[in-house]
Each structure stands twice: as C-alpha cells, then as structure tokens.
C-alpha cells in the first residue's frame, strides 16, 4: 500500500532521483494517454494534471494546447522541483504547485479539463477523492486518466515475482496503491458514485521498458531495486539473500531483452469521463 504520506516523503524523493528511468518505463503509456487527452482537450480555459510527478503529461498538454492554462499539482516537492527544471526545456510554460490535489483543486475551480497519468490510485477514500475532483470541474468538462489494470495482467511485476518464488497476490478490497483501480467494475461504479458520467475504460497493452543502455540487465535491476513492488523486498533482504534474489532476477531480465532494452508489457486503463449534473 502506498499512500499520500509516502509520496510527500521517501517515495517521491526516490521517483525524483530515478525520473529518467520512470519516464522511460511510462513512455508508451504516455503516448496512449496523451493521444486520448488530445481528442478532448479544449483549446482554452484551465486544465490540471493531478499527481503530475515530474510533469511529463503536463508538459505534453501545454505543448499541444498553447492557449490552454495548464497546472500540475503533486504532493512531492522533490518531483515538482524536477518538473520546474524541465520547464526550462519547454516552449509552453505550465505552472507547478506542491500540495494535495484534494486541497489545491477547490481553489482553482471551475476547471475545464482534468488529466492524470497514474496519479489517482492513492486516495484513502476514493469516492470522497473523486467527488472533490468533480466538484472542482465545470459541468461536462472531461476527466482523462491512466492507471494500471489488474496486477495479474501486468507481467512487469508478475514475471519477476514468479521468478523469486513469491506467491501471486490477489487484489482484494480497495487499498491505495498501483493496482487500486485495476478492477473495471469497481472503478466504473466509483466514478458514477462520485458524480462522473459517460465513463469509458479502454484497456491498452503497452511496452514497459525497465532497462536499456550499455548494460540493460544491470539498468533493469537498478530500476527494480528502487521502483515498484519488489523494491522493499530487495532493500530489506540480507546481503546473501539479496545476492541470490538478484542472480535469479538477472536471468529473467536477460531473457526479456528486445532491441537492446529489457521490455515487459503493462496492462493499463485509459479512462475518460465527463463531469455530471449531480455533484456527489
């Protein structure tokens, strides 16, 4: 389980330090999401990227819609620092705010578009969270976001776990974390309950590149040591255990090299909805 407190502290710091690796892992997700956003994004008005991290989606939207005001919000000051630094490279200049979207969003209402790349799976109370999003949005304005589909469909996590002999985890009741919105039935009902309408979930299977460069296997190991569900297992293992786990991981990572990169697939939802009449 990863919640708000983790992101504003240690997890956010790690993602900031590893931002080149996470941007690479999410590049195929970004292409699919940015295309979906482009089909509904207004030409002008105000859009917010929720849980923007280092701002990949924020910057893409600002570049695609130069007349649209774009703001990225994230809990982690380390991630926002990187996002602001990246603006230097961009022609269009979005604003970045450090804070909890549930507190900042009401101060920016009414908004014309909400987007997020994997930033909405961490609300302690998801109906309350998505209701705040709805209340801050103009009637009929679109929400477009991505999240992981079911854990069992995401081989970038299941294959390494199986290699390490970990029993497959079955997702149960909602708990904040990467797979919290993986169940389509749950997520559709959640959005309806929170005042969203025209809800559509589209499944995409995208590449998830975990290692590349001169030594893609060591690069992939460096990724798994710091990012995702295996990171705590690897970092808390004794030196001997860790060596044995990593030896097994190296073999499976090497078997997944394609065009010089260690590549798994990820199953993601791209979800679109519109702000409904009833504010929950």
Ligand X SMILES: C[S@@+](CC[C@H](N)C(=O)[O-])C[C@H]1O[C@@H](n2cnc3c(N)ncnc32)[C@H](O)[C@@H]1O
Torsion of the alpha carbons at 225, 223, 121 and 148, rounded to the nearest 10 = -120
Contact criterion met (CB below 8 Å) for 149 and 122? no
Q: Contact residues for ligand X (CB under 6 A)?
A: 4, 7, 12, 22, 26, 51-53, 56-57, 73-76, 79, 100-102, 117-119, 122
* HEC secondary structure over the chain: CCCHHHHHCHHHHHHHHCHHHHHHHCHHHHHHHHHHHHHHCCCCCEEEEECCCCCHHHHHHHHHCCCCEEEEEECCHHHHHHHHHHHCCCCCCCEEEECCHHHHHHHHCCECEEEEECCCCCCCCHHHHHHHHHHCECCCCEEEEEEECCHHHCHHHHHHHHHCCCCCCCCCCCCCCCCCCCCHHHHHHHHHHCCEEEEEEEEEEEEEEEECCCCHHHHHHHHHHHCCCCHHHHHHCCHHHHHHHHHHHHHHHHHCEECCEEEEEEEEEEEEEEECCCCC
Is the bond into 7 cis (omega within 30 degrees of 0)? Answer: no
Please give the Cα distance from 46 to 53 (Å, whole number): 19
């Amino acid at each position: 389980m990863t919640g708000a407190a983790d992101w504003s502290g240690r997890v956010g710091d790690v993602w900031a330090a590893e931002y080149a690796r996470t941007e690479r892992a999410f590049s195929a997700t970004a292409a699919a999401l940015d295309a979906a956003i482009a089909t509904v994004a207004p030409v002008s008005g105000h859009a917010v990227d929720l849980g923007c991290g280092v701002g990949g989606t924020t910057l893409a939207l600002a570049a695609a819609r130069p007349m649209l005001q774009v703001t990225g919000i994230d809990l982690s000051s380390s991630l926002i620092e990187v996002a602001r630094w990246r603006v230097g490279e961009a022609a269009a200049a979005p604003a970045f705010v450090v804070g909890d979207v549930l507190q900042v969003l009401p101060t920016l209402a009414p908004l014309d578009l909400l987007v997020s790349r994997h930033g909405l799976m961490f609300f302690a109370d998801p109906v309350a969270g998505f209701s705040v999003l709805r209340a801050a949005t103009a009637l009929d304005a679109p929400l477009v976001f991505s999240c992981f589909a079911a854990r069992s469909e995401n081989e970038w996590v299941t294959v390494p776990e199986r290699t390490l002999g970990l029993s497959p985890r079955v997702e149960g009741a909602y708990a904040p974390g990467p797979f919290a919105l993986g169940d389509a039935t749950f997520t559709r009902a959640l959005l309806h309950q929170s005042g969203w309408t025209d809800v559509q979930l589209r499944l995409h299977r995208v590449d998830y590149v975990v290692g590349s460069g001169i030594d893609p296997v060591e690069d992939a190991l460096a990724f798994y040591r710091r990012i995702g569900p295996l990171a705590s297992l690897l970092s808390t293992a004794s030196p001997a255990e860790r060596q044995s786990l990593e030896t097994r991981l190296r073999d499976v990572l090497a078997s997944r090299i394609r065009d010089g990169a260690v590549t798994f697939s990820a199953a993601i939802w791209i979800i679109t909805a519109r702000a409904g009449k009833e504010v929950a």
